[in-house]
Amino acid sequence: MKKRTLIIVFSLLNLAVLSAQDDLLALLSNDEPTTEYATAAFKTNRVINLHSIESTAGGVLDIKISHRFGFVNGGFSELFGLDQASIRIGADYGVTKRFTVGFGRSSYEKTYDGFLKYKIFRQSSGAKVMPVTASLLTTTAIKTIPWANPDRENYASSRMYYTFQLMVGRKFSDNFSLQLSPTLVHRNLVRTKSESNDVLALGVAVRQKLTKRVAINAEYVYVLPDQLADGYRNSLSIGFDIETGGHVFQLHFTNSTSMIEKGYVTETIGNWRNGGVHFGFNVSRVFTVRK
């Protein structure tokens, strides 16, 4: 009788333990779903020339050196462009994980530029579903090259340029991302009556990951008709991202000489068909300033 009683007691205890485990699992399964955010649609906050939807992380300083050699069709006498160079040195800082500020100086037209960039929302799944990431960009640039006609009355405002851009992108898979960038460039002064002060354009950028550390990028900036003088072309760039620890090297070919919006959107003259392209690179190095 005692043995039977002990067996019954142990059986009841086992049932109680199993019931408690089931209740605990039920509680866990009833937890609210979490939100998962898409990351690294593009490896840096630039595609090639275009800004990407990515922001500099909060408290991080990103030093960028962008370099373009001369046109490849310069031939052997110019060592296929290697005898010439255009450069931009800049610094981007993540004030928060959504808000980035930046400043740079280009040798092309001795231009200084600054920008503000804010990520409106992020692509996510789970509890909060958002199909795309979107960021807003505004830039200001001033060129300081000597006046073409210094004897006439010149105004500093004539050297000013402004850009407003919306970037909308989606990471479709671990390997492929797509971005659209509607853009408005305002130029206070234009050279001819045939040019518009306000230039509307649409940028398209893609990224295809090839290996864990290598990806191919391409971007095209289409300027709406009847806004530029004859001789200017749409910007087309193709290149590779190579990640090596804290550095990201971007090697590319582009028909744009300038590396800021007012230049590559409105002043591109290179023609891919006759070798009017630059070989160039961007080097990015990040430093954690504030944790």
Split at pLDDT 50, 70, 90, the class of 23 is: low
Q: What is the mean pLDDT of residues 241-268?
A: 90
In sequence order, what are the residues at sequence separation of 6 or more whose Cβ sits closer than 8 angstroms to the Cβ of residue 17? none
Q: How far apart are CA 56 and CA 222, in angstroms?
A: 27
The pLDDT tens digits of the residues spanning 28-72 come to 555 677 888 888 899 889 999 999 999 999 999 999 999 999 999
Q: How far apart are CA 238 and CA 216, in angstroms?
A: 8
Give buried/exposed letters for 109-123 (b at 16+ CB in 10 A, else e).
Answer: bebebebebbbeebb
Q: How far apart are CA 41 and CA 177, in angstroms?
A: 6
Domain shared by 261 and 280, yes or no = yes
The pLDDT tens digits of the residues spanning 113-172 come to 999 999 999 999 888 889 999 999 999 999 999 887 877 888 888 899 999 999 999 999
Domain shared by 6 and 59, yes or no = no
Residue 103 has which token pair? Answer: 């400043």
- Answer whether 112's CB lies under 8 Å from 142's CB: yes
- Per-residue model confidence (pLDDT) at position 18: 42
Q: What is the mean pLDDT of residues 68-83?
A: 87
- Per-residue model confidence (pLDDT) at position 229: 81
Domain shared by 5 and 116, yes or no = no
Q: Please spell the DSSP secondary structure of 104-148, one letter per residue.
A: EEETGGGEEEEEEEEEEE--EEESS-BS-EEEEEEEEEEE-SPPS
> Does position 26 have pLDDT exceeding 80, yes or no?
no
Split at pLDDT 50, 70, 90, the class of 190 is: confident
> Does position 17 have pLDDT exceeding 80, yes or no?
no
- Per-residue model confidence (pLDDT) at position 9: 38
Q: What is the mean pLDDT of residues 253-273?
A: 94
In sequence order, what are the residues at sequence separation of 6 or more whose Cβ sits closer than 8 angstroms to the Cβ of residue 147? 154
Domain shared by 1 and 82, yes or no = no
Share of the chain above pLDDT 70, in %: 89
Report the mean per-residue pLDDT for the chain. 87
Please state the domain count of the chain.
2
Domain shared by 237 and 104, yes or no = yes
- Per-residue model confidence (pLDDT) at position 49: 95
Q: Which domain holds residue 148?
A: 36-288
In the numeric block, the tokens 């490849």 are attached to 72
Share of the chain above pLDDT 90, in %: 61
- Per-residue model confidence (pLDDT) at position 177: 96
CA angle 282, 283, 286 (to 5 degrees): 135
- Per-residue model confidence (pLDDT) at position 187: 92
Residue 52: give its domain's CATH number.
Answer: 2.40.160.40
Domain shared by 11 and 138, yes or no = no
The pLDDT tens digits of the residues spanning 173-185 come to 999 999 999 999 9
